[in-house]
Chain A
Amino acid sequence: MSIDVNRIREDFPILKEKMNGRPLVYLDSGATTLKPQAVIDAVNCYNTKTTSNVHRGVYQLSNDATELYEGAREKVKQLINAKTSSEIVFTKGATHSLNLVAQSFGLYHLKAGDEIIVSELEHHSSFLPWQHVARVTGAILKFIPLDSAGHITIENFKKVLSEKTKVVAINYVSNVMGYESPIKEITALAHEVGAIVSVDAAQAVPHMKIDVQDLGCDFLSFSGHKMCGPTGVGVLYGRYDLLNSLEPIEFGGEMIDIVGETTSTWKDAPYRFEAGTPVIAGAIGLGAAIDYLESIGFDAIAQHELELRQYAVSELDKLGGITIFNRDAQTGIISFNIDGVHPHDAATIYDAEGICVRAGHHCAQPLMGWLCQPATLRASFYLYNTKEEVDAFVEATRKGKEFFDGVFF
C-alpha cells in the first residue's frame, strides 16, 4: 500500500522551485496544500476553453461549463458517499460552510437557554460562528472538557450533553493536535437528544476516506485548497431533508424560484445556497483534485503520512530538548516546541533553511490556553513529502537548537 513519492513529486510543479536558494521543503499542508498539474490544467482548461457562466446560457459553451461544474458536484458526492449530489453545496471554503450552518440553522432554530456543544480543540472557524449565534439568540456554548492529552472523548462528551443540547459543532481532525474525534459515536448520542451535528472536516477529508452516511452527521464542511484543489472553493454537505428546510443566508441571482416585489421563493438545495455566480473554476479544480487523490488512494496517503510522522517523532526525540504536544496522534500533524526557543524564532531558522513550517496559535487560541503555550510550531505532512525532507527538517531543528543555545545561554 506504499506510494511512489518520487513519481508523485513530478506532478507538483512548485517542487521544482527554490526557497531562499534551497530546495523547497513544504511541511505546512495543514495550512494549504500544493497543487498538482492535473488541477492546474483543469482550471486553465475552463479559463481557456470552456469559459462561460453556469445554469444560464442556452448555448453550447454554457452547457459544457455547467456539465463540468455539476460533474464536480457528483465527484464530491461520491468522495464522501452522500446520498445525492443535491446534498453538496459549493461554498468559498470551510469557513464559509461552517458559517452557513450556524446562521441558517442556528439563527432560526435556537432560543435562549438552548445549548450548543463545541470543544477547546476547535479552529476559530468552527466555534466562532456559534459564539455569534449564542450571543444573538441567548443560547449557551458548552465546551467538551478535553482529557489529559487533549482528546475529545465520549465519556467527556456525555458530561456536557443534555436534553437542552440543540447543536454539536466539532472537528473531525484537530488542526493542531491531529487527533481524530469519535464523530460516529458522538452523532449517535447527539441524535438521541434531538441535537444536530455539524462536523468541521477541513483536516479530515484531505487525508482519509469519509462516509457521511456511515457517520450519520447532519452537516460536514471542508475546503478544496487543503486537498490539492484551488483556493476559494469549499463544500458543505447537508442531510437533504434538513438542508432543504433551511433559509439561505445570501440572496441574489440563480438561487431563486419566483421573485415578487415583497416576497420570493427559493430553489431547492443546493442551489438556494449558491447565490450569484458560483466558484466555477474552483469547483472544476476541486473535481480534478478528487480524481487525483483517488487515483493514489486515501488509505495509501494516510499510511504514508503516518510513516513520516512516526519517523519524524523518533528523530526529534533523539535530539532531545523538544516538547511534542500530540505524541499519540495518528495523522500527519506534529505540534511541538523547541525548549527555550520562542516558536517565532524557531520558524525563522526553518525559513532560512528553505523549510516551511507553521508557527503561531493556528487559529486555535482556546487550545493554546489549554496547552499553556502562547504559540506552537507545527509540521504537517502530505502525500508529496519524503523521508529526506524529514531529515532536512530534523537537521534544521538541530541547528536551530544549537544556534539558540549559543546565543541565548
Chain B
Amino acid sequence: MSFSNLEQLYRQVIMDHYKNPRNKGLLQEDGYHEVHLKNPTCGDDITVQVKVEDGKLVDLRHQGTGCSICCSSASVMTQTLKEKTLDEAQNITNNFYELVKGNEYDEDLDMGDSPVYQGVSKFPARVKCATISWKAAEQAINELKK
C-alpha cells in the first residue's frame, strides 16, 4: 500500500465536494422526507432529506458531521440522484454499492461523479463512510414508497 492509493482515495473531486458541498443544509419546507443515520463506531452522523414529485426525486439535501469520505459522498449522492425516478435512483444506488466494494458495476448508468469512489475499495474499513448517505437516501425513498 502506498501514497498513490491514498491519492486515488482522496481524488480532487472528492476533496472539492468536501470543501464545497452541494445541496448542503436541511430545509424546513413541506414535502421533504428526512432520515437520520449514524455510524456508531466512527461518529459519522448524517441526515438526508428527499423530495419526491410524480415519482421523481426533485430535490435532495444533506447535513451532518463526519470524515471527508462521508461528507463528500453525501454531496455527490444528492447531485447524482437528483431528477432521477425512484427506480433509477435505486439502480444507481445498488450500482454504487458494487463499485465501492471494487466489484463490477454497470458503467452505462448515469452515475455522476460517484465512480471516483472506486478508490474506497482498497480501504474496506472506509466503505461504510462512503455509503452512509446513500443508505439514508435509500431508506427515505423506501419509507415514502410505503
Give A contacts to B, CB under 8 Å.
20-22, 342-345, 347-349, 351-354, 359-361, 368, 374-375, 399, 403, 407-408
Give B contacts to A, CB under 8 Å.
1-3, 5-6, 9-10, 12, 15, 18-19, 40-45, 65-70, 123, 125-126, 129
On whether A352 and B67 interact (CB within 8 A), knowing A361-B43, A368-B43, A374-B45, the answer reads no
Task: Please determine whether A349 and B67 come into contact, CB atoms closer than 8 angstroms.
Answer: no
Residues on B with beta carbons closer than 8 Å to the beta carbon of A407: 10, 12, 15
30 examples of A-B residue contacts, CB within 8 angstroms: A20-B1, A22-B1, A342-B66, A342-B67, A342-B68, A343-B42, A344-B70, A344-B126, A344-B129, A345-B68, A348-B6, A348-B9, A348-B125, A348-B126, A349-B6, A351-B1, A351-B123, A351-B125, A352-B1, A352-B6, A360-B42, A361-B41, A361-B42, A361-B43, A374-B43, A374-B45, A374-B65, A403-B3, A403-B6, A408-B19
Which residue of the partner chain B has the closest CB to A376? B43
Task: Please determine whether B41 and A21 come into contact, CB atoms closer than 8 angstroms.
Answer: no
Tell me the bound Cα distance from A361 to B40 in angstroms.
Answer: 8
Residues on A with beta carbons closer than 8 Å to the beta carbon of B9: 348
Q: Determine how close the nearest CB of chain A comes to the CB of B17; give it in whole angstroms.
A: 12
* Interface residue from A347, A354, A375 paired with B43 (Cβ < 8 Å): A375
Tell me the bound Cα distance from A21 to B40 in angstroms.
Answer: 30
Q: Determine how close the nearest CB of chain A comes to the CB of B29; give it in whole angstroms.
A: 28
Task: Please determine whether A360 and B41 come into contact, CB atoms closer than 8 angstroms.
Answer: yes
Residues on B with beta carbons closer than 8 Å to the beta carbon of A354: 1
Residues on A with beta carbons closer than 8 Å to the beta carbon of B65: 374
Task: Please determine whether A344 and B40 come into contact, CB atoms closer than 8 angstroms.
Answer: no
Residues on A with beta carbons closer than 8 Å to the beta carbon of B45: 374
Tell me the bound Cα distance from A211 to B18 in angstroms.
Answer: 52
Tell me the bound Cα distance from A347 to B10 in angstroms.
Answer: 14
Which residue of the partner chain B has the closest CB to A21? B1
Residues on A with beta carbons closer than 8 Å to the beta carbon of B43: 344, 360-361, 368, 374-375
* Interface residue from A22, A351, A375 paired with B42 (Cβ < 8 Å): A375
Task: Please determine whether A408 and B15 come into contact, CB atoms closer than 8 angstroms.
Answer: yes
On whether A344 and B2 interact (CB within 8 A), knowing A351-B125, A374-B65, the answer reads no
Residues on A with beta carbons closer than 8 Å to the beta carbon of B15: 407-408
Q: Determine how close the nearest CB of chain B comes to the CB of A229; give it in whole angstroms.
A: 25
Which residue of the partner chain B has the closest CB to A346? B67
Q: Determine how close the nearest CB of chain A comes to the CB of B11; give it in whole angstroms.
A: 9
Q: Determine how close the nearest CB of chain A comes to the CB of B129; give it in whole angstroms.
A: 6
Tell me the bound Cα distance from A345 to B129 in angstroms.
Answer: 10
Q: Determine how close the nearest CB of chain A comes to the CB of B26; give it in whole angstroms.
A: 19
Task: Please determine whether B5 and A352 come into contact, CB atoms closer than 8 angstroms.
Answer: yes
Tell me the bound Cα distance from A22 to B6 in angstroms.
Answer: 15
Q: Determine how close the nearest CB of chain A comes to the CB of B5; give it in whole angstroms.
A: 6
Task: Please determine whether B42 and A344 come into contact, CB atoms closer than 8 angstroms.
Answer: yes
Residues on B with beta carbons closer than 8 Å to the beta carbon of A408: 15, 18-19, 68
Tell me the bound Cα distance from A359 to B128 in angstroms.
Answer: 14
Residues on A with beta carbons closer than 8 Å to the beta carbon of B3: 352, 399, 403
Tell me the bound Cα distance from A380 to B70 in angstroms.
Answer: 27
Q: Determine how close the nearest CB of chain A comes to the CB of B146; give it in whole angstroms.
A: 32
Most B CB within 10 A of own CB, among A22, A342, A354, A359: A342
Residues on A with beta carbons closer than 8 Å to the beta carbon of B126: 344, 348
Tell me the bound Cα distance from A272 to B19 in angstroms.
Answer: 59
Tell me the bound Cα distance from A344 to B65 in angstroms.
Answer: 12
Residues on A with beta carbons closer than 8 Å to the beta carbon of B2: 352
Q: Determine how close the nearest CB of chain B comes to the CB of A353; give it in whole angstroms.
A: 8
Residues on B with beta carbons closer than 8 Å to the beta carbon of A348: 6, 9, 123, 125-126
Most B CB within 10 A of own CB, among A20, A21, A407, A408: A407
* Interface residue from B6, B19, B42 paired with A359 (Cβ < 8 Å): B42
Using A352-B3, A407-B10 as known contacts, list a sample of 17 further A-B pairs with CB atoms less than 8 Å apart, ordered by residue number in A.
A20-B1, A342-B66, A342-B67, A343-B67, A344-B42, A344-B129, A345-B68, A348-B6, A348-B125, A348-B126, A351-B125, A352-B6, A360-B42, A361-B40, A368-B43, A375-B42, A399-B3
Residues on B with beta carbons closer than 8 Å to the beta carbon of A342: 66-68
Task: Please determine whether B6 and A344 come into contact, CB atoms closer than 8 angstroms.
Answer: no
Residues on A with beta carbons closer than 8 Å to the beta carbon of B70: 344
Task: Please determine whether A344 and B1 come into contact, CB atoms closer than 8 angstroms.
Answer: no
Residues on A with beta carbons closer than 8 Å to the beta carbon of B6: 348-349, 352, 403
Residues on B with beta carbons closer than 8 Å to the beta carbon of A374: 43, 45, 65-66
Tell me the bound Cα distance from A374 to B43 in angstroms.
Answer: 5
Which residue of the partner chain B has the closest CB to A348? B123
Task: Please determine whether B69 and A345 come into contact, CB atoms closer than 8 angstroms.
Answer: yes
Residues on A with beta carbons closer than 8 Å to the beta carbon of B10: 345, 403, 407
Tell me the bound Cα distance from A26 to B102 in angstroms.
Answer: 27
Which residue of the partner chain A has the closest CB to B15? A407
Residues on A with beta carbons closer than 8 Å to the beta carbon of B123: 348, 351
